[in-house]
Amino acid sequence: MDNQLPELLRTVEHELTALLRRGRAVSWGVVREVHPHLEPNTYGLLLWLRRSGAVRLTDLSVRLGVGKGTLSRQIRGLEELGLVRREPDPEDRRAARLSLTVEGQRRFDAARGSRVEELQQSLAGWSADDLAEFARLLHHFNENWTPER
């Protein structure tokens, strides 16, 4: 094993912790703008619904790493606020597909827009190649990271 590996892993862990802390703060800000009564941890749920369109609860649960019970409770709250709708799955009438309502999309996009502008300002000095590499590495990390629960 490379002698530098333990120190490099500690550095990655440190930087990842800083990124997650900042990401959580950004997520909370976006969620509060969408609706003041939303739980802060619904940002990831709203983001995946926005990106995915209509998706089954079970697929969303796996993707987000959240239990179906917790996710169902969050979805009910979003439905009550008129931000999410549940429709029968055309492929399996026992299942439902979840998606953002037009109002949910409008509110999420408006709130997220200011955060994207902040990100653009933070990364203004980066080259397109560096941004592409950063995005590639983050995607690679997210696709392969399987934390123990």
The domains located in the chain, with CATH, are 5-115 (1.10.10.10)
H helical segments located in 35-67: 43-52, 57-64
**pLDDT tens digits, one per residue of 39-74:** 878 888 898 899 988 999 988 888 888 888 989 999
User: Are residues 34 and 101 in contact, defined by beta-carbon separation less than 8 angstroms?
Assistant: no
Q: Which amino acid is at 70?
A: T
Can you name the residues that pair with 56 across neighbouring β-strands? 97
- For the stretch 65-119, pLDDT in tens is 888 898 999 999 999 999 999 999 888 888 889 999 999 999 999 988 888 888 8
**pTM of this prediction?**
0.75
Confidence of residue 126 (pLDDT cuts 50, 70, 90): very high
Q: Which range has the top average pLDDT, 14-18, 34-38, 130-134?
A: 130-134
